[in-house]
Structure 1
Amino acid sequence: MITLPNGVKVPDGSDLADPQILLGDVARSISDALGGLGTGKRQPHLYAVANQTEKTALASLTTLQDGDRVFVADTGWWELRSGGAWIVWETMQAVAWPFAHTGVSPGNGTGAFSYFLRGDLVHLSGSFRFGSTTSVTTSSGALALPFVHADGTTTPLVLGTCSAQSGGALFWQGVVVGQSGTASGAMRFDVGAASGVLAALSATAPRAWGSGDILSFDIRWRRKL
């Protein structure tokens, strides 16, 4: 290919050896020219690879630029080229998240959580069933979320709802509160206090936890990119 002064590439004699590559180069050259992107610029490219190893190898096969996107088949998500690096941009299937709370020792409890990403928006939901060795160690703990919250304000915001269910029929509703610049979410439950104050998750709030009890939440927040 020959690069013209305006940055547009055109085929030369050496490109005629492989018609398929030639047609691809011509199509990209026309696309770049019509896009009016200027010298040395091109339209973003889309790639599809089987796994992270193939994604890493792209850098040795082509010149990458910010705005390019790649679909990674084994994880089922799109990654965006930004700031010279790849970032996960959109998940096409749920990504498993292991329950993590700084005030809860999971023991032999079992969790089933997953999240979806779309740009900077995160949606995380699921439930955790207490086991015989699960314990709440402190009332000052919080969820250790997979991404930092980036709302742009230091005022705590409600990220979503949470609930607690006993092995019987008892049920409590609450909210999950997060704050900009942190990757945490504090759970607060309505325990019927006359003052209307919500109770932080603890060994006795919203109930004395036992094996078989279920803790659930459904939250959304903007992650920091």
Structure 2
Amino acid sequence: MVVKIYPLLKKRGGVKMLNSLLNFFNLSKKGFVRIIIGSCIMAFTLVNIHMQSNITEGGVLGLTMLLYKLLDFDPAIISPLLDFACFSLGVSLFGKKFLKRTAIACFSFAIFYKIFLITGAVVPSLYDFPILSAIIGGIGIGVGCGLVVSQACAAGGDDALALVLSKKLNLNISKVYFLTDAIVLTMSLMYIPMGRIIFSLLTTIVSSLIIGQFEMPVTIHTKSGVRV
């Protein structure tokens, strides 16, 4: 049955349509698969590891919660505003191709995240083993995020901001991820116990180191025609 699928798609123009879609997003088949798999891994890790272990997030989500706890800002409003600001910076620097690829990553992540929330955690809770949880969570987020950003796109505002700062400051993207997350997590000490923050910093260190191994091998054109 599986063997017959490709000839059927080819006969009906499915392959041509797929190639046209990939050309529109300026992606190879391998790049498309990387984005999908990366988004899936991140969503799976958040639901099965971080949420069960109360691992605190850095980046946009962490900043959203910080503003909510300290200033009572509505997360439903602040989170999309922060994401929009980060995505806007990404588009201004990398152009429309960045936006197209990011749309795939964000949509894929949202779908997988919803699916995993509905099905519930399938991995035993590691709440009583915070160090193990932080390490495994860091590996999952690092690999998933690395696969996504390696295709010059972002699954969230954090990724977009990291790509922009990495380009503008000429810093390794792993350092940018760690610095931005560390700043937010340090500020979060105002309402989160030190004990939980330490494990969040550990998972940030692990994920940042792994993401650094996925430096962007692909290029996209900016509005000025320069490859980045």
TM-score range, shorter chain: under 0.3
Greater relative contact order (Cα < 8 A, sep 6+): 2
TM-score, normalised via structure 2 length: 0.22
**Larger-Rg structure:** 1
- Normalised by the size of structure 1, how large is the TM-score? 0.22
